[in-house]
Amino acid sequence: MPASIRPLHPSRPERAAAWLVRGVVAVPGLRRLLLWPVVARPGFWFATAAGFLWGTLLLGRHRRSHGLHVIHQLPRWAFGRGGTTIGAVYLTRDGLGDRVLTHEAVHKQQWRRYGLSLPILYLAAGRVALTNRFEVEAGLRDGGYL
Integer Cα distance of 128 and 16 in angstroms: 16
Residue 42 within a domain: yes
One-character DSSP codes across 58-69: TT-EEEEETTEE
What kind and span of H or E run contains 90? strand 89-92
How many other C-beta atoms lie within 10 A of the C-beta of residue 83? Answer: 25
> Does residue 145 lie in a domain region?
no
Please report whether residue 29 resides in a domain: yes
**Domain count of the fold of the chain:** 1
Q: Under 8 Å CB-to-CB from 55, ≥6 apart: which residues? A: 62, 69, 71, 74, 78, 89, 91
Residue 54 contacts residue 86 (beta carbons within 8 Å)? yes
- Is position 97 within any domain? yes
Residues spanned by the domain of 85: 12-138
Q: In which order are the strands placed within the sheet that holds 68-72?
A: 61-65, 68-72, 89-92, 83-86
Confidence (pTM): 0.90
Query: Along the 146 residues of the chain, how does pLDDT read in single tens digits?
Result: 454 555 668 889 999 999 999 999 899 999 999 999 999 999 999 999 999 999 999 999 999 999 999 999 999 999 988 999 999 999 999 999 999 999 999 999 999 999 999 999 999 999 899 999 999 999 999 999 99
Q: Assess if residue 2 is contained within a domain.
A: no
Q: How many CB atoms sit inside 10 A of residue 123's CB?
A: 20
